Amino acid sequence: MEQLQRATFDEFKSHVRGDVVLPGDANYDEVRQIWNAMVDRKPAAIVRCTSRDDVVQAVRFARRHELLVSVRGGGHNIAGNAACDDGLMIDLSLMKRVEVDAKARRATVEPGCVLADLDAATQAHGLATPLGINSTTGVAGLTLGGGFGWLSRTYGMTVDNLLSAEVVTADGGLAHASELENADLFWGLRGGGGNFGIVTSFEFHLHPVGPDVLSGLIVFPFDQAKAVLTQFARFTETMPDELNVWMVTRKAPPLPFLPEQVHGKEIVALALCYAGDPTAGEKLIEPLRSFGKAYGEHVGVQPYTAWQQAFDPLLTRGARNYWKSHNFVRLSDDAIDTIIEYAGRLPSPLCEIFIGTIGGQTARVAADAMAYSSRDANYVMNVHGRWETAAEDGRCIAWAREFFARSQPFASGGAYINFLTQDEGERIEFAYGAMYGRLVELKKKYDPGNFFRMNQNIKPD
């Protein structure tokens, strides 16, 4: 590899406008770092693309020299697939342009954008598309795996709002994908991850949102968890699509609206967002307050962009993370009891269990309409293991795996591909369910040599 660097990387630099970063360069360690500190890979080179043409040149260079390729958008993926050892990291994080056509309600987005970039550009026009809940997440990875958040019950998954994509394919060519052009590729991009190419431009449908929304937190003591979770489960089965309520149980961070003596104690929090008129929303959320005697709440009308960033301090880069995830059609009493049991013995102050509520519009799309197929999932549970030192790895990973196994009997089929860790390759087929065979055939067509394999990989054979 060093011989390859000496002989050819200088020439490669002359073919791209972006920078090529090599081991030993002053910014190498900074550029190769990704969100999950458990992943510490060292590429032979990092090409910091500034245009679609740079991406094309990078793919062709990697093919010519038979280099393993990883693709970085936001670098936020839990499995750490944005970085590779001894190969070429194609870094898209400098490609951050967003163009909004407010009249047509469309946004064209480059793959280096994080959610905050897209939200800021669209909210300037009172528009948004469904995204995730952490503003530092990359738009590209979120979208290619499905994407869901506060607006999904009202407006669907992120992929339900994708109108087209510009793709650099495994042979270094270009393809435009939409319902009308390369429709099979478009089908696979919507949930199939990075298996079929590198998307250099996304086009999204936008919806009227905000710019202010009713949102916030209601925090209950952990000893009321059974009552709160049971009522949460039943309430969310019948709430209107415009309302979304999630549940998180963890040790309380130092939130200013909580008494100081609560900080560090186990809590159950309900996080809510109402996408309609705040006055109507206030009436709808009133029953949540009766689920128990709350420690405190912080609920009110605030900018949608602020709510999208509310959880960023709990999800900063640099911690060690290990996740396990299940889909649920319904939260049974047994599932609730298991959640409470493991939430009662969190192995780190940073660990948490959250239940993201979807359903609504996400369930009205046919299961075979695109690669993302878990349309029966009304809830997605993430066992979010998070800690600071390698010495804690064994204890925290064991807790997450044990809870995952104990809760599995109550889960439904499928899995959210963006929540799979690097050791869950055996769950990929399960995640896609009946769509997996079709995805294999698509992989054979667009990437028969499995050039794009640093992902939740769909093997072509």
Q: What are the backbone dihedrals phi and psi of residue 456, each rounded to the nearest 5 degrees, phi first? A: -75, 90
Q: Is 334 helix (H, G, I), strand (E, B) or coil?
A: helix
Residues of the chain with pLDDT under 50: none
pLDDT, residue 281, reads: 97
Q: How many angstroms separate the Cα of 154 from the Cα of each of 102, 232, 344, 357, 449?
A: 20, 19, 33, 12, 40
Helix (H, G, I), strand (E, B) or coil at 33: coil
Alpha-carbon distance values, 220 to 235, 268, 310 (Å): 16, 5, 18
Token pair recorded at residue 167: 């793709």
Residues 6+ apart with CB under 8 A from 161: 129, 130, 155, 204, 205, 206, 207
SS (H, E, C) 93-146: CCCCCEEEECCCCEEEECCCCEHHHHHHHHHCCCEECCCCCCCCCEHHHHHHHC
Nearest residue to 380 via CA among 352, 414, 427, 349: 414
d(CA 34, CA 31): 8
Residue 326: strand, helix, or coil: strand
| Intra-chain end-to-end CA distance of the chain, in Å | 29
Q: Provide the angle, in degrees to the nearest 10, between the axes of the packed helices 333-343 and 225-238.
A: 140
Identify the pLDDT of residue 1.
52
What is the model's pLDDT at position 5? Answer: 63
Provide the 10 A C-beta neighbour count for residue 323: 20
The two tokens of residue 426 are 């055996």
Predicted TM-score (pTM) of the model is 0.96
What pLDDT score was predicted for residue 352?
Answer: 97
Closest CA to 437 of 460, 405, 407, 411: 460
β-pairing, 69-72 with 88-91? Answer: parallel
H/E element, 227: helix 225-238
Q: Is the link from the previous residue into 253 a cis peptide, with omega within 30 of 0?
A: no
Residue (of 391, 372, 362) closest to 433 by Cα position: 372
SS3 384: strand
